[in-house]
Structure 1
């Protein structure tokens, strides 16, 4: 095995426009202002991952991710071994917050370990399935526009599970959109809703009642978790699993939300918990007896690849369709071999590590620090 001492940590900010703005209750995204993280070892191995900043959710920006990695996290990791993952966790946890920066470093290190062992990270994590069913996020728009987008995803990619963004106009547009989708596709599609904390508890209860005949399978973050009593009141009345997403980003928060009866299911996003912390969240959820769904941080293809590697590796995360299609909304991407969704599924790459290969010309074109 080559020398696995971490010799360098590099961050490359890049920007790729979306084909159209993505709208949801907590904000909108027009450009993927992300950060590519590279971990290099003394033996010549290079691990990659993607950090997508979401300032309106976690407080991180592209500039803050670059700064915290260069100033604090890289010095903490250089000189350690790639296998010293628990030591990495201890050192990075001295700095509060910065979840996507920490997650990207963790996944890049796992990429190095897989390459060193000549094994896919997917197998090292569990290797349960070779692919995952895909759920597509439908952002805010008029009902006819969202129906047309769903039809396109069905025809072009075979996707039949849709996460519908709500949280703005509960008694008019939001419910109308979900109803239009159900009327257009009947029982041939799965629908669930995500409010991004945009409704109140009473708005949420009324909207759920108005959608009671639409066969929803999940309801995610309809109102803020900080509305403690209102959230508990709502969850008690919710007829489907109530998913904690941005309110449950650590094992401690998962414990708080589930035991506090503020959620009955958990969204796992490798973009904010990497592979190591995502396994902690998953195992805790299994121990508490709650369902999980693989979420998406509006990742590019590098981040989406990490999500499917983790999600397909475990039985519990493979049960539901994972949110793995947002990269299709980007006008370009960084992989030399682009991801492909076929028959509603995304396959796990077969190569060692994460199995990815970057298009260096594209990275040079989109990087922001050159």
Structure 2
């Protein structure tokens, strides 16, 4: 097992209520089988969300997870999951290990991971995430994404104070595009419940698709009060990193929809959450952990596997904000869609020269 740190700058920083990102300082996790198969996935640390750092991911993978799982087979995923679960936290490290194992399993069997998981479709519509900026700049970015890639769904980062700044952005987007695009907002827990309620009332005429994590989940009464007032699905994201968290948030009335991020729950955990959400009748969005192309390919592979996860546009475009990436054949968004690979495993290959250039352990 390997944990390889790499760093790729963003063309421009992505800014949102809980922080901002200037460089993709991620970790490439690789597992090797004794048959010579190599499974690969990506762990994106988000210290302001989950407390993980690049160094921490490397350490937990190499020093704690590797001794617990080396020697097991690719079919013993439940055993692997139970062993790594004894370590508290570290969600993206666990997720990358899980997805690398699924990648190796698919390559061993000669089957795409999407087909192993469910095989529902070969493509997903793409949603683009717009970070904090002034209205004119955000409208211009959205127009560029529409003109260049055919994207027609936009997730707008909100949560600034004063609240009117973000309302102005969303209104500018709707005024510019009319009904030709889908819009939803994500507060990253930046507003209070009262601010969120006021903002949603002022945006009531804008036809929003969803509202996501507008206020902190630990404001238990405020969150429940807010969700009871709004008339669009309220997505839980950072507040539902496990299936148990999904159950708690939904049964408490603190959310009515969820975001699944394979970077956070891998394929095995994401499948559990998907089945739970499907049984509860929840809307599901495939989220983005500001992933590179490796992580985006993983999210696409999972999202395309099920009808419920492919119903809405997935957040699959933020690799476009990076100055480069690691794939030998880059992902291509065409006419607003990403097509999943038909190759075995997750379906990508790492460019060894690019990895040598961006890795930080040499």
- Range into which the TM-score falls when normalised by the shorter chain: over 0.9
* Partner of residue 246, structure 1: 238
1:190-211 CA distance string (max 9 Å, x none) = 0000000000000000000000
1:214-246 CA distance string (max 9 Å, x none) = 000100000000000000000000110000000
1:227 to 215, 219, 223: 219
* Partner of residue 90, structure 2: 98
3-state SS of paired residue (2:308): helix
2:101 to 105, 109, 132: 109
Q: CA deviation at 1:172?
A: 1.9
Aligned partners of 2:253 and 2:18: how far apart in 1?
23
3-state SS of paired residue (1:191): strand
Aligned partners of 2:135 and 2:253: how far apart in 1?
33
3-state SS of paired residue (1:317): coil
3-state SS of paired residue (1:36): strand
User: Pairwise mapping of residues 106-185 of structure 1 onto structure 2 (< 5 A)?
Assistant: 106-185=98-177
1:320-353 CA distance string (max 9 Å, x none) = 0000000000000000000000000000011001
CA contact (8 A) 1:170 1:207 kept: no
1:31-58 CA distance string (max 9 Å, x none) = 0000000000000000000000000000
Aligned partners of 1:219 and 1:82: how far apart in 2?
39
Please, which runs of 5 or more residues in structure 2 have no aligned partner? Answer: none
CA contact (8 A) 1:134 1:161 kept: yes
3-state SS of paired residue (1:296): coil
Q: Does 2:329 correspond to 1:337?
A: yes
1:260-314 CA distance string (max 9 Å, x none) = 0000000000000000000000000111111110000000000000000000110
Q: TM-score, normalised by structure 2?
A: 0.99
Q: CA deviation at 1:105?
A: 0.3
Aligned partners of 1:170 and 1:38: how far apart in 2?
45
Q: TM-score, normalised by structure 1?
A: 0.97
* Partner of residue 10, structure 2: 18
Equivalenced residues, count: 362
* Partner of residue 358, structure 2: 366
User: Pairwise mapping of residues 1-370 of structure 1 onto structure 2 (< 5 A)?
Assistant: 9-370=1-362
* Partner of residue 5, structure 1: none
Q: CA deviation at 1:148?
A: 0.2
Aligned partners of 1:359 and 1:221: how far apart in 2?
36
Aligned partners of 1:175 and 1:353: how far apart in 2?
43
3-state SS of paired residue (1:31): strand
Q: CA RMSD in A?
A: 0.5
* Partner of residue 6, structure 1: none
* Runs of 4+ residues deviating >4 angstroms: none
* Partner of residue 4, structure 1: none
